[in-house]
Amino acid sequence: MTATGLERTPEIKKVTPELARHMEELWKTKPGLFGFLGTTDHKKIGIRYLVTAFAFLVAGGIEALVMRVQLAQPNEHLVGPAAYNQLYSTHGMTMIFLYALPILSGFSNYLWPLLFGARDMAFPRMNALSYWIFLASGVFMYVGVAMGAGPNDGWFNYVPYASLPYNPGLNEDFYSLGMIFYGVSTTVGAVNFVVTFLKMRAPGMSVNRVPIFTWGTLTASVANLLVVPCVSLAFLMLWLERQFGFHFFDPGAGGQPILWQHLFWMFGHPWVYAIVLPAIGMVSDGLPVFCRRPIVGYTVVSLATVATMILGFGVWVHHMFADGLPSLALSFFSGASIIIVVPSAVSVIAWTATIWTGRPVITTAFLFFASMIVLFVIGGVSGFMTGSVPVDWQLTDTYFVVAHIHYVLIGINLFPVVGGIYFWFPKFTGRLLDERLGRWNFWTMFIGFNLGFLPMHLSGLLGMPRRIYTYPAGMGWGWVNMVTSIGGFLFAIGVALLLVNIVISLRRGQVAGPNPWDAPTLEWSVSSPPPSYNFAVIPKVESRHPLWEDRLEEIEGHTRVAEGPVLDHSKEALTTTILDADPDLIMKMPEDNVAPFILTCAMSLGFTGLLVHLWWMAAAGGVLSLVSLAVWLWPSRRLAQVSGAPL
C-alpha cells in the first residue's frame, strides 16, 4: 500500500490519561538552562513576546509622560531641545517597532496553533529565533538610548538631518543597524506565520473556516515580507552614506533626499496596517463571543482585511503631500487614501451589526473591544480628512496628525490588545482577571485616552506644530496642553491598573476552566493553560465554530477533538493542503534547540562590530552565524530529512 516506502497510516485513538501522559513526555520543554534557552514551545515564546513587548510599552509610556510634563505649560525646561528630540524619537521607535508589532506576534504565536488545532507553528526553531532577535535588537537600540545615543530624528528619520554632517554622533548608527537587525526578526516571524497558515491547519479547517484574527496576522505577515526589505535597505543606504561616503541622499553630490522618504513610507504605511490588522482581527473574533452570536459578515470582514492591506500598499505618498510632488501623483494617492475608508467601514458596520443583533454580555473585554469601534471611527475620520490634499497642507506637521496617529495606534492596537488580554488571560494562566478592577481599568484608560488625545486635534487646528520641545506663552495652547497632559497621566494610571490586575489575578484570580466565556473556537477546547502538546489527537474540524455546533442551526457536521489520529511516535504534527486542509504529510517536529539563541548571539556580535568599526568582530559574528546555521540545517535523521530515517 505504500507507494514510496515512506508512508505510514496514522492510528486513530481516543484521548486517554495514558495518551496525555505520553504526549506530555514527548512535548514538554526540557528543564534547566537548556530548556530556557532552547525551548521551541510556541506558548512559551508567545508569552515571552507579550511580556517583552509590554515592558517596551511601559518604557515608551514613561518617555511620553516626560514629554507631557515638558509640554504641560509654556516655557517648561524639564528637558532641553536635544534631549526632547531623542525622547519623541525613542518613544516612536519603541511604540511602533518594539511594542505594536511584537505584542501582536505574542498573541499570534501563543494562539495560532491552538486556533488551528495544531501542535506548534510550522517552524518552531525559527519561532524562537524571531523572539531572540527581537529581544537582542531592542536591547541593541536601547543601549544606544542609555548612552544618550538614541534616535533623534523621529521614527521616520528623514535626511538630511539624519546625515553625518548634521548628526555626527552614534545616534543614527545605533538606529540604522538596530532597525536592520530588528527587520530580520520581523521577516523570520512573518515567514513562520505565512507557512503556518498555509500548512498547519487541522484537517477540515478550510480557509473559509479560520478565525478572522488569523486572516489579520496572515495579511500583515505577507505585507511584512514585501515591505520590510524596503526599510532595511533604506537604513543600510543611510549607514553606508554616513560611514563610507556613499551618495544616496545628500543633494550636494546629486543624492535625492526625497528617495529616503519614498523608501521609508513605501515600508511605513503598509507597516501601519500590519500593526493594526491583527488587532482588528482580535476584535472580530472576540466581540461576537460576548454578543453570543457569530460575527455578521465573516466573508466580507475577511475580504475587507485583505483589501485594506492591498490598498495600503498604494497610499504612502500621503505622508509626503507637502513635498512639492506633481499634482497627478498627489491626486492618485489622495484618491487611494480616501478609498481605503471603504473596507474599514465594512468592518465597522459588521461589528455594529453584531452587537445590534446579538445579546451583549458586558464584560471588561467586551468594553475594550466595543470601544475600539468608536476610536477607530474617530481615527478613521481624521485620517480621511488628511487624505485630502488641501486639508493635509493645512494640518500636516501639526498636533492634528499626532492626534490621528494616536487614535489609530492606541485605539486600534492597544485597546484590542488589552481586550485580548482580558479575553485570553484565563487561557494563558488558568485564572480570570478581576472584573471589578477591570471596569476601573477600562474607564480610566478610556476617559484618560480621550481626555488626552481629543484636545490634540484642537491644538493642531490652533496651529501647534509637532516635535517642538516647548512653546512661548500667549500662543493660546497652554490650557489645551494642560488638559492633554492630565489625560495622558490618567491614561497611564489606567495601564498601571491593568498591571495591578494581572499581578493580583495571577495569584488570586478565579479559576477559569477550559472555556470560561463559552467561546466557539478550538483554543477553548483544551485545558487552561493548555498542555505542552496542545491536542492529544489531531482534531477534525467541521465548521467555523467548532464548540457552538450544537446550537447553530446551519451547521451539520460535528468537529471531533476527543478521537483522531494520535501521531505519537515522536514529536509529530500533521500538515494539510493549502485551501481545503486535507491531510498532506506527517511532520517530525524539532526538539528544544539552542541554535536560534546562539545564532542571535553571533548576529549581535556582528552588528556590534559594525557599529564600532571593529571589522574582525563583525567578521567573527558573520562566521559564527554561518556555523550555527550549518549546524541548525544539517539534515537530521530524527526529523526524517535523511534517506532511510525511521518513520
As measured in angstroms, the least distance from the Cβ of 377 to other proteins is 33
Judged by beta carbon, residue 236 or residue 410, the one nearer other proteins is 236
Between residue 499 and residue 538, which ones bind other proteins under the rule CB under 8 A? 538
The set of cell numbers assigned to 540 is 477534525
- Integer Cα distance of 526 and 582 in angstroms: 23
- Integer Cα distance of 531 and 41 in angstroms: 11
Judged by beta carbon, residue 158 or residue 440, the one nearer other proteins is 158
Q: Is 635 among the residues that bind other proteins (CB under 8 A)?
A: yes
Question: What SS3 state is found at 340?
Answer: coil
Q: Which of 241, 285, 392, 434 contacts other proteins by CB under 8 A?
A: 241
| Contact yes or no for 230/183 (Cβ under 8 A) | no
Q: Which of 50, 149, 212, 237 contacts other proteins by CB under 8 A?
A: 237
Q: Which of 91, 199, 201, 269 contacts other proteins by CB under 8 A?
A: 199
| Distance from the first to the final alpha carbon of the chain | 15
Q: Which of 12, 51, 329, 361 contacts other proteins by CB under 8 A?
A: 12
As measured in angstroms, the least distance from the Cβ of 191 to other proteins is 4
As measured in angstroms, the least distance from the Cβ of 109 to other proteins is 16
Between residue 84 and residue 123, which ones bind other proteins under the rule CB under 8 A? 122-123
Q: Is 7 among the residues that bind other proteins (CB under 8 A)?
A: yes
Between residue 134 and residue 193, which ones bind other proteins under the rule CB under 8 A? 187, 190-191
Q: Which of 245, 335, 465, 513 contacts other proteins by CB under 8 A?
A: 245
- Integer Cα distance of 137 and 517 in angstroms: 37
Judged by beta carbon, residue 216 or residue 286, the one nearer other proteins is 216
Q: Which of 230, 401, 498, 547 contacts other proteins by CB under 8 A?
A: 230
Q: Is 626 among the residues that bind other proteins (CB under 8 A)?
A: yes
Q: Is 255 among the residues that bind other proteins (CB under 8 A)?
A: yes
User: CA-based Rg of the chain, rounded to a whole angstrom?
Assistant: 25
- Integer Cα distance of 136 and 131 in angstroms: 9
Judged by beta carbon, residue 224 or residue 284, the one nearer other proteins is 224
Judged by beta carbon, residue 253 or residue 503, the one nearer other proteins is 253
- Our measurement of the distance from residue 287's CA atom to the centroid of its chain's CA atoms, rounded to an integer in Å, reads 19
- Our measurement of the distance from residue 204's CA atom to the centroid of its chain's CA atoms, rounded to an integer in Å, reads 28
Q: Tell me the window of 34-42, 248-256, 269-277, 512-520 that interacts with other proteins (CB under 8 A).
A: 248-256
Interface with other proteins (CB under 8 A), residue total 75
The set of cell numbers assigned to 211 is 478565525
Residue for cell digits 526524517?
A: 640
- Integer Cα distance of 352 and 350 in angstroms: 5
Q: Tell me the window of 249-257, 320-328, 484-492, 548-556 that interacts with other proteins (CB under 8 A).
A: 249-257
Q: Which of 143, 198, 306, 620 contacts other proteins by CB under 8 A?
A: 198
| Contact yes or no for 313/270 (Cβ under 8 A) | yes
Judged by beta carbon, residue 158 or residue 443, the one nearer other proteins is 158
- Integer Cα distance of 317 and 337 in angstroms: 9
Contact string (CB under 8 A) for other proteins, positions 378-407, x = contact? ------------------------------
| Contact yes or no for 355/291 (Cβ under 8 A) | yes
Q: For the chain, what is the largest distance between any 2 Cα atoms, rounded to a whole number of angstroms? A: 87
Question: What SS3 state is found at 511?
Answer: strand
- Our measurement of the distance from residue 184's CA atom to the centroid of its chain's CA atoms, rounded to an integer in Å, reads 15
330-358 in b/e form (b: 16+ CB < 10 A) is beebbebbbebbebbebbbbbbeebbeeb
Closest CA to 58 of 132, 118, 142: 142
| Contact yes or no for 312/273 (Cβ under 8 A) | yes
Peptide bond into 529 cis (omega under 30): yes
Q: What letter does residue 614 receive in the DSSP assignment?
A: -
Which amino acid would we find at residue 594?
V
Q: Which of 10, 463, 514, 529 contacts other proteins by CB under 8 A?
A: 10
Q: Tell me the window of 34-42, 492-500, 509-517, 576-584 that interacts with other proteins (CB under 8 A).
A: 576-584
Q: Is 630 among the residues that bind other proteins (CB under 8 A)?
A: yes
| Contact yes or no for 155/97 (Cβ under 8 A) | yes
Q: Is 259 among the residues that bind other proteins (CB under 8 A)?
A: yes
Q: Is 74 among the residues that bind other proteins (CB under 8 A)?
A: no
Q: Tell me the window of 63-71, 227-235, 361-369, 462-470 that interacts with other proteins (CB under 8 A).
A: 227-235
Question: What SS3 state is found at 398?
Answer: strand
As measured in angstroms, the least distance from the Cβ of 514 to other proteins is 23
The set of cell numbers assigned to 2 is 505504500
Between residue 583 and residue 602, which ones bind other proteins under the rule CB under 8 A? 583-588
Q: Which of 110, 155, 248, 316 contacts other proteins by CB under 8 A?
A: 248
Q: Which of 138, 211, 564, 596 contacts other proteins by CB under 8 A?
A: 564
Q: Which of 136, 179, 228, 610 contacts other proteins by CB under 8 A?
A: 228
- Integer Cα distance of 265 and 336 in angstroms: 15
Q: Which of 66, 195, 374, 601 contacts other proteins by CB under 8 A?
A: 195
- Integer Cα distance of 122 and 573 in angstroms: 9
Judged by beta carbon, residue 362 or residue 642, the one nearer other proteins is 642
Judged by beta carbon, residue 258 or residue 349, the one nearer other proteins is 258
Q: Is 639 among the residues that bind other proteins (CB under 8 A)?
A: yes
Kindly list the distances between the CA atom of residue 82 and the CA atoms of 159, 160, 168, 550, 554, in Å, as whole numbers in the listed order.
Answer: 17, 17, 13, 63, 63
Contact string (CB under 8 A) for other proteins, positions 543-562, x = contact? -----------------x--
As measured in angstroms, the least distance from the Cβ of 136 to other proteins is 20
As measured in angstroms, the least distance from the Cβ of 620 to other proteins is 17
Residue 542: phi, psi to the nearest 5? -120, -5
Q: Is 253 among the residues that bind other proteins (CB under 8 A)?
A: yes
As measured in angstroms, the least distance from the Cβ of 262 to other proteins is 7
As measured in angstroms, the least distance from the Cβ of 325 to other proteins is 11
